[in-house]
Amino acid sequence: MGLSTLLALAGCATLFGGGSHQKLSFDSAPEGATVFMNGQQLGVTPLTVDVSREKGVAFSFKKEGFNTVAVVADTHLNPWFWGDVAAGSLLSTTIDTATDSSVKYSEDRYFVTLTAVGTGPDAAARRNQVSSYIVTNYAAIGSELSVQLSSKPASQGQHIVALADMVALPGEDQDRLPTLNVLHELYTKTHGAPDFANAVLTKFGLN
């Protein structure tokens, strides 16, 4: 099988650009923080793990006695995606897009400094994280809040789980359903991403 045929069948980004997963490293000071990707547990820092490439991802770092830190992951177009374009292969570009191989996380390593409960996180940074995540993922958040909310974590949408983790106070995020219900109420009473973001910041004392 020739190289051009292989590229057409597999997609450049899927074949050469790491596929639909990317190896990321996570660390924290102090160590021992549990890392979550949109609410799904990845492991404990220091940690290196292959994660799926997705848009609208938030990584949360949680450790007992410390404030939760959430980081919104930036993504960019995988450079290998342009190999599909140069080759003129509609099939391979479709494959790369469908498998999320067309995107890549901008950072390979994420490090956060945790602050002890009572000392308070950087309020401005936390506001920016929450508002940025809402504006970037407003459509997906709205879609997940528009269905019947479940008490089962496996049935809760990944975007609203990530948002709930961002706004929850330490020790108050064991059961996300009350927070999700509040987010649902705010979503139904607001109009558009900026209005919803402001309502969330106000409700959870982040303004």
Domain ranges of the chain: 1-120, 122-207
Per-residue pLDDT, averaged over 117-142, amounts to 81
Confidence at residue 76, expressed as pLDDT on a 0 to 100 scale: 59
42 has pLDDT over 90: yes
Which range, 112-121, 170-179, 197-206, has the best average confidence (pLDDT)? 197-206
Work out the percent of the chain whose per-residue pLDDT is above 70.
71
Is the per-residue pLDDT at 170 higher than 90?
no
Question: HEC string of the chain?
Answer: CCHHHHHHHHCHHHHHCCCCEEEEEEEEECCCCEEEECCEEEEECCEEEEEECCCCCEEEEECCCECCEEEECCEEECCCHHHHHHHCCHHHHHHHHHCCCCEEECCCEEEEECCECCCCCCHHHHHHHHHHHHHHCHHHHHHHHCCCCCCCHHHCCHHHHHHHHHHCCCCCCCCCHHHHHHHHHHHHHCCCHHHHHHHHHHHCCCC
Report pLDDT for 92: 40
Query: In this predicted structure, which of 19-23, 35-39, 48-52, 75-79 has the lowest mean pLDDT?
Result: 75-79
Q: For all residues of the chain together, what is the average pLDDT?
A: 77
Give the pLDDT band (50/70/90) at residue 174: low
